[in-house]
Structure formats: structure tokens, C-alpha cells
Structure 1
Amino acid sequence: MVSKTRKKAPTKSVKDLNKRRWRRKSPIKNVVAASSAVISSIHRRISKLLSKLGLTRLSSNRKRNSYKILKKTNHFHFPHESSLDTVCKTLRFDDNEPSLLPPTLSNRKTVFLDLDETLVHSTTTLPPGSFDFIIRPTIDGEPMDFYVSKRPGVDELLESLATKYEIVIFTAALEEYASLVLDRLDRHRFISHRLYRDSCRNIDGKLVKDLSVVGRDLKRVVIVDDNPVSFSNQPENAILIRPFVDDVSDRELWKLRGFLNGSDCFDDMREAIKHFVAERDRR
């Protein structure tokens, strides 16, 4: 009598079992699994890129998207001298600190304009010549009179720039004073935002207007100020303008308007500023 032997089924490999599990999943689960795999791959690539750029994640008890700057080393060679500096200035590393400005959906570049001695000149004593208007803010509980003179060309500058740029006033003056000046200066609401003294950084006792916290791409930003200390953190984004007091023949704002209206061909406004400053210095 022939004994019957049961044939032993061939052992399935892990790969075959995974394939069978994949086939048993519903189409939706397949899509979810594939998406997860893609996201994991992207995450690994981003981590490698950040590592090469000298960035690493902070500890897990901080926000997920927060990063810190590692100490610069000579292990990596960047094709451009300022590549790492550009990345560090563009990325926000402290998500706990909100941007000074709300996000913008506009594709316009941003011009930050100083107020005193750039657009106007104010004095608490009656000037010997003419002035444009008087404001009376209350500062530290005391009402004060300010006699304000507009710089020649300021009205034309604001109207012209508003068609192409987002205009932001960034002043180191107190809001109680500056807001009243701007209410009179900007009757047609060409100015998009206003930043006052409380938006400046106090660095070694000096007020600095730090553009790294305004929430705008530094390639698309220009700041105009008569005080170089104000833009000391980002001098490459700045145009230093001659202070205005009472010169009725002053033409600085016409020069500024001509530059800004003619800089559309530059993707990076810092390059445009280099050309403007070089041309101005040659004259």
C-alpha cells in the first residue's frame, strides 16, 4: 500500500507576502500608503539639505519647524560666497516671534520709508520760514505742538510708488506723534502699513530697524533712511538719503522715485541698490 505524503507548500518570501498585503488593500489605502512613502522621502531629502546648509532641528519640545544655526565649518563649499548668509537671512528661525507685518498676497516689492528728516521735518518751535501743518499729540500726559514741513516731492513720491510697491512707513518716532503726521501726510491712503518705535530693536542703546522680522523676502525689500544706524543690520537693502530740514530746493525724493520706478529689471533689489549707489557716487 502506497503511503500518501502531503506536499509541503513552498515557503513564501517576505517580499511575496508584502505584495499580497498590498493587493489586499483598498485603492484608497494604497494611495495613502504611497503618499506616506513620498512624504517620508521628501522629509529625508530636506533633512539632508538642511544639514548641508549648516542647519539642524532644535529639540522636540520646541516647535516642529524651528531651526538653529550650527557653527560655521569648512566642510562644505558653497558656489557663492554669501550663500549661507542669504539662507540664514531669508529663513525665520524663531517661530515664537511674530512678523511685524501681516502676510501679503501681492506680488509687489516693499519700500520701507523713514519719516523724520526723510519725508518731513518737525520742530516744537515756530520755524522762521513756512511750514505745512501743525499737529498736537499728547506725550507723557503733556500736549505738544509740532510744526511740520513736508519734503519737496513727497506727495508725488507716495502716489507714484503706490502703483508698483507696497509702501511701509518705518519710523523710530513715537506712535502718538508719528500717527498724526501720517494721517495728514497720507490723505489718499497710499501707505499700506505703519511701524513705530516699538517695532525697532534696541541694540547697544541705538534703535535699529531690523528687516529680518518684517515677514518679507529680503530680495524684494528696500529701506530708505537718513540715519545709517537704522539699517545697520541690512545695509545692502538700504538707500541712505540726505537729511531734510528746510531746503525748498531739495530734489532727493525725485531721484529716489526715478530709481525705484526704473528698477523693475532687477530680481534682487540689493543688486539694484548697488547700481544706484555706484551711479550716484560717480556724479
Structure 2
Amino acid sequence: MVPRIVKRTPTKCIRDCRRIGSRGHCRPRRSPIKGCVPSSASSVLASINKSLRRIFKFFSKLARITTSNSSLCKKGFKIPSKLSDENEEATAAAPRRLASTCKVLAFEDVSALPSLDSPSKKTIFLDLDETLIHSKSDPPPEKFDFIVRPTINGERLNFYVLKRPGVDKFLQAISERFEVVIFTAGLKEYASLILDRLDPTGAMVSHRLYRDSCREMEGKFVKDLSGMGRDLKRVVIVDDNPNAYGFQPENALPIAPFIDDLKDVELGKLIKFFEECEEFDGMREAVRLYSLLEGEDHRKLLL
């Protein structure tokens, strides 16, 4: 008697593995059949899982970041939905959400600023590009004050720098009574050369912070002042980019971007502000009053 030959159809899981096998791995289902995933794919998945655990462990150490949603929206800063504190449960999960929305650029390696000689001294964080200067690469523009030639990624570049009107007087005036910290999103190789020209003796600028001290969120560099070792009530940041001060908008003095207007008077206005703000114990109150006065002046111009 001839034995009966029965043609068996591979199970669905095996067919899936064969079909996906050309891609290098098989995606296990929620209830995978044991032995369905090829050994090579298992090792790949195990490696991926191990990497993910390491990434999660790293980001779980990050501190929570809280901010004012309404203020940021007014400044044009897009709030990542996963960072909003709409309820207590969302707040408790902040470190986990941060892992998927915020990339830290060597921030754990950045120490807080050294202690102030005088605890009563206030601190000014100043942006560089479009706040104190404007720079342009080749071809050279019609107007510029000096050239810096940084080497970036092995390539030597030319940057033609135009100083904002009054920048020398501004730095001299505020450095006499305040701690001045340049906080730029520019690369150190580039920005340090410009600061060497603005403050050749180092007498006006107390500290310099570069891109590696920023946080990157959705492709934007954000300057978080909370880890600098300074009382935020006695701190102000001057920047032309609202995204930069997204974590502390109540400490920010917005300034119009500078390109090449040699009649610009923004820094002169700031000198007057910093002369008068010493009457306030907290910088936030002074900033709030200045913003109200600036808004009133703009309304008068429109009338």
C-alpha cells in the first residue's frame, strides 16, 4: 500500500517570517509563536532592546522641565505636546516624555557657573548673533568691522562681522554693575573668536557659554537658565530669538534682530533700562514693567 502524501501548508507565522526575512528580521506579534523568530533576528532585537534600555536609563536622569505655555505661545514658541503640564499625571511622567522630545547637548558635562563674588549682584545673559553683532560668510558684504576665520569640521571659513551700534559702550556700562555672561547657540570655534575681538582683555564678559550648553528641542536651541547656579529672580536674558528663552520667558528682554542698520538704537535703550532696574529687587518685575512700557511706545507709534 502506497503511503498517502499530505501537503502541509506552512503556518501563518512561518509565512510571515519567510516574507519578511529578506529585510533581515521578523517582527514578532503580540503573542508570537515560540521559535518563529530566526536566531539572527533575535540577536538583532535583543541588541536593539538593550540599546533602548540604556537610552531610557540615561534620559530618566534628566530633571523635569516646566514652563508657561501661554507665555511661550505669545512669543511664537511651539510647545511640544508631550512637554505640556496639563495635569498631575503628565507632570509625573515628565522625565519619560523628555526622552522623546528633548535632546541634551553635553548638558550633563556643563557645570553651573562659579559662585558670585557678591550675592547681591545681578546677572545678564546676552545672546551674540543678531543681538550684539551680525556676521556673514563669503562673499564679503559692503559693511563689516572685522573678519574671523574659524576652522569648522576641518574647513577654514571667513566670517565678516558687523558690530551693532553702541555695543562697546553697552558692554562697558553693564559690566560695571552686573555679571555679564555671553550665552550663544553658536559653535565655540566661531563665537570665541568674535568675543576675543569684542572683549580682548576679558574685563567685561565674566563667562562664555556656547552651543554645547544649550538644549535642542524640535531643531531649536533653547537656553535653560535653571542650571546655572543663579537665582532666577535676579537674572535677565537678552535675545532676539523667542525660542532661545522658551524655558524662562518671564526673565527675557526681547530685542529686535540686528542685520546692518547703522542707525539702530536698541542697545542704548537697554543701557537706560539696566541703569534704572537696580531699584527693583527682582529682575522679573523690572522686565515686566519694561515690556509694558515698550508696548505702550509701540502703540503710540501706530496711532
TM-score scaled by length of structure 1: 0.65
Select the residue among 177, 200, 204 that pairs with 2:214.
200
The residue type paired with residue 283 of structure 2 is M
| Structure 2 unaligned spans of 5+ | 1-62, 67-86, 90-107, 298-303
- 2:231 alignment counterpart: 217
Distance in 2 (CA, whole Å) between partners of 1:193 and 1:166 is 9
- 2:193 alignment counterpart: 180
| Structure 1 unaligned spans of 5+ | 1-65, 74-95
- 1:116 alignment counterpart: 129
Do the aligned partners of residues 271 and 97 (structure 1) sit closer, same or farther apart at CA in structure 2, a change above 3 Å counting? farther
Once the two structures are TM-superposed, the CA of residue 206 in structure 1 deviates from its matched residue by: 1.4
Distance in 2 (CA, whole Å) between partners of 1:209 and 1:174 is 14
TM-score scaled by length of structure 2: 0.61
C-alpha contact (below 8 Å) 1:100/1:199 kept by paired residues = no
Once the two structures are TM-superposed, the CA of residue 104 in structure 1 deviates from its matched residue by: 1.6
Once the two structures are TM-superposed, the CA of residue 187 in structure 1 deviates from its matched residue by: 2.2
C-alpha contact (below 8 Å) 1:116/1:122 kept by paired residues = yes
The residue type paired with residue 266 of structure 1 is F
Once the two structures are TM-superposed, the CA of residue 98 in structure 1 deviates from its matched residue by: 6.0
Distance in 2 (CA, whole Å) between partners of 1:182 and 1:245 is 18
Select the residue among 102, 113, 117 that pairs with 1:101.
113
Distance in 1 (CA, whole Å) between partners of 2:189 and 2:258 is 22
- 1:111 is paired with a residue whose SS is strand
Distance in 2 (CA, whole Å) between partners of 1:212 and 1:266 is 21
- Pairwise CA RMSD: 2.1
Distance in 2 (CA, whole Å) between partners of 1:134 and 1:210 is 30
- 1:227 is paired with a residue whose SS is coil
Do the aligned partners of residues 183 and 259 (structure 1) sit closer, same or farther apart at CA in structure 2, a change above 3 Å counting? same
Once the two structures are TM-superposed, the CA of residue 182 in structure 1 deviates from its matched residue by: 0.2
The residue type paired with residue 194 of structure 2 is V
How many residues in Structure 1 have an aligned counterpart in Structure 2? 194
Do the aligned partners of residues 179 and 98 (structure 1) sit closer, same or farther apart at CA in structure 2, a change above 3 Å counting? closer
Percent of residue pairs identical: 56
- 2:264 alignment counterpart: 250
Q: CA-to-partner distance for each residue in 1:55-110, whole Å, 9 max, x for gaps?
A: xxxxxxxxxxx99x9x869xxxxxxxxxxxxxxxxxxxxxx876431222223100
